[in-house]
Structure 1
């Protein structure tokens, strides 16, 4: 099922969070997309937290980026090979599944190496000698499996091949000259005397070809000597060929300096690494270092982008990181249209209302969807927050009418609920300077100027005095780090309809000219100014462009 993320802006306010939740509910109720999931782009404010708790709503999950990652791609869920797997079995599986390569795991299911068809082919071209099984620490089970052999007698202490490989077609004297302790003997004829000589040399394993069997007396001698015996239907020639395939894949695989990707890696990083390497496919590991598959260049090219719906914003600077890589399906907003462009067409709904949730409430009505009690409470909180309890100049008749309808559905008194919400949300006690400024902060590009404007609704402006010096220092640093000409902080008292403005940066005259005030120690009172969108941003824009 396709996920569609419904997201408000960075430094989310109550409208941003509640709009994401309420619109997601509407989309899911109408089955418009696969599954709409509300997300947030930052920590919620105390005001928003109060609203969520009041109406038993969960805080949306945090979305840090929508840049394409490996986890978003349709990578191959391939068969994973154990390091003990024989070359014969590995080659058979790779042919059956049309694999060019496969990850090899250690005993803890972590990536140990990468086996490719090239590794196997190059392995056969190498000058492998009689010690290949010993050097590869080949398990006895691998030999039995590869030769389709039957066990006649197996010494329980024989776990891996520890000696050299011989094909007997020689007399006893030659055996004495060439065979050593722990060696492996392939024999294809009635060589009883030769076998007895091998027992004296303390070989580990005798392989009988052409389905030969030992006399009972000779077999008893083998058991007494602790020499294992197996028999195979293969000819001596085929046995000598096939036994090399008993080597475990660990011996021929590529290991060390492996190029692999995490499910959390971005597609940009994949493309960069792939442009510098020439492998057909690459192992993919999850955040627990467990191998989950492989990925190829083709899958990177054909990967789907994350799907987004933006609410309460449309500016790129206020959107989630990587928004340029996402597929934007819709925008529902009540702000100006700024630096906004998309790759394809979309549904864009913007109305000159005081709150995004007002628009969403209208959409519920238009689509005939009943508004649940808790969703009504969330949208009510958003409208009261954005319109400052209907006192903001951005508040329209429609906002108030819909808010009162929502209050009735939610079973609350709008005025009482609003005052309780502001009281819970505007307390500055226990908050850091950074938390205060970023509670509701937005950056604006106005002409050639960059301006950061934060607004904090509080009923205790006087209580901010001890924090003023530290706040101005923080704002100055903000200007330097972000290249702002001016940083502004508005402390707004919604009940008394007034704001105290604090200004930092190299161009304080933007604010002085905008409101015809004189800043005293970086501060001025702005009676009647309570809306950043309708009063502050337009005034500063005119002052900058004048």
Structure 2
């Protein structure tokens, strides 16, 4: 059979189930990612919101598969938009080389680091212009002053010069030179030198042998010969004897003067040290306004030791997110992993009611009234003419039997049973065998904290002006619910207060006996209007009710529609 055309994604894609995920949610995300990979879409990754549930961990261990990555949220962080290869320079690099790197890379600014990689400041054309406009005095070390802080090695490199007197270990030492150009008569230049010299002089001269010899009588350190002019051997010998470096360059005097100012190390420039510095863990939503309001174009990213690990261009804060989302087993943002509201959703595979907000662009939406999202994902394999691996078939079967309570839930359809039989053949196991293994996993009410029980499989809703949550756990011993009633109610009321809910309900289902019980906290009018029998401790009996989606939620929605919310 010819495979359907591959839909290539232009950015990484995460596949996620709802927060507080159940087995169906996790397995459908994992299996859908495997299908995408089989179709040639390699940049697709399944994730598990929060902590991997015990039953899901057992399933992955049983089929010897690596569980999906667990994430608490998908909020964009600086690490998601930063460039780890963003051009930067070291503080000891010459300004000449730094400016050339700025030009060659085309970046608006570059972070500067010290020898240990720690961020020191940012170099930009604006900061260089500030130096150029800082006229200063003749003795000043601004880009227009006479003095330069450089080394002979830097000067040699910037001038592309040759050393006529050899090299010494001290050539790399940073020192301050007063720069003079021998463009006047020898006598006048001699007097000028006497009056203006404060630091070691660096003399720039062309083809003037009389100047060569005369300046060597002074305590100079550097003689620069321009235009590749010849230098008499006696001059070289005297300079060598007096430990004066002679550099000869093809540049003319004007070029030498300009380049000498850029032979200074980057650390001598007026670096911008007020640029906001971000951590890779910073949430983009929390620093976006600061970045967009700043005058800087590039923001360094440093680790906890202050070492530069990347940079973020300002344009990245207004660019589309670097990844997209595929949702399985839910479609409402309020039920999704935190941060979902910031990420574009490109596809949904779900078997619940449609409650998602309109999307900006058309998306692929696969939905049907079946008992499990794994049923839909398995059907997508069949539609593509592919068979899942034995292991993936096992995952899909686990998701199917847990969501349909081994086909006992009223949400179960003929399609679920047919897909289940197909998956049993591929996986080499039966749903009953897998359910038996899953039921051996520790009782949630026996081993988990009350908050863990409430949040294990919880979904939030907003309907008829009410904000509420419905949680569900499977438990063979319903008596444990009554023993822990007060503890559970205390934490349920705490959630109501913290999250601004009107009420929260916990449906505890015994899949073996086909019954459930309901504990609810919050809005008293809603509790009074529920059409269920109540035990003396306030816990409702729900005989024959197994499905939150198909049996409990419709009843709750009917009650919220019939009971107006009071302020």
Q: Do both proteins adopt the same fold according to a TM-score greater than 0.5, normalized to the shorter chain?
A: yes
Higher mean C-alpha displacement, 6-15 vs 78-87: 78-87
| 1:36 aligned partner | 44
- Per the TM alignment, residue 238 of structure 1 is displaced from its structure 2 partner at its CA by 4.1
| 1:295 aligned partner | 313
1:309-357 Cα shifts (integer Å, max 9, x gaps): 2111111111123333333222111111124321121222221111111
Residue 381 of structure 2 is aligned to residue 364 of structure 1: yes
| 2:4 aligned partner | none
1:198-226 Cα shifts (integer Å, max 9, x gaps): 13xxx332333444566555544444443
Higher mean C-alpha displacement, 41-50 vs 400-409: 400-409
Q: How does 1:232-243 map to 2 (within 5 A)?
A: 232-243=249-260
| 1:404 aligned partner | 421
Higher mean C-alpha displacement, 527-536 vs 422-431: 422-431
Q: Indicate which of 537, 541, 544 corresponds to 2:553.
A: 537
Residue 156 of structure 2 is aligned to residue 147 of structure 1: no
| 1:81 aligned partner | 89
RMSD between aligned alpha carbons? 3.0
| 1:432 aligned partner | 449
1:281-306 Cα shifts (integer Å, max 9, x gaps): 21343657434355143x54453553
1:393-427 Cα shifts (integer Å, max 9, x gaps): 22223323322332232122322321221221534
1:248-299 Cα shifts (integer Å, max 9, x gaps): 22222423111355555555456412442233x21343657434355143x5
Distance 1:381 1:210 in 2: 82
Distance 2:69 2:441 in 1: 23
1:493-513 Cα shifts (integer Å, max 9, x gaps): 111122232222242x52443
Q: How does 1:339-488 map to 2 (within 5 A)?
A: 339-424=356-441, 426-488=443-505
Distance 1:100 1:118 in 2: 9
Q: Indicate which of 9, 15, 30 corresponds to 1:21.
A: 30
Distance 1:97 1:53 in 2: 49
Higher mean C-alpha displacement, 486-495 vs 426-435: 426-435
Q: Indicate which of 204, 229, 247 corresponds to 1:186.
A: 204
Shift in CA distance, 135/439, structure 1 to aligned 2, threshold 3 Å = farther
Shift in CA distance, 287/40, structure 1 to aligned 2, threshold 3 Å = farther
Instruction: Give 5+ residue unaligned stretches, structure 2.
Output: 1-9, 563-567
- Per the TM alignment, residue 543 of structure 1 is displaced from its structure 2 partner at its CA by 2.2
**TM score, norm. by length of structure 2:** 0.85
**TM score, norm. by length of structure 1:** 0.89
Distance 2:148 2:213 in 1: 31
| 1:520 aligned partner | 536
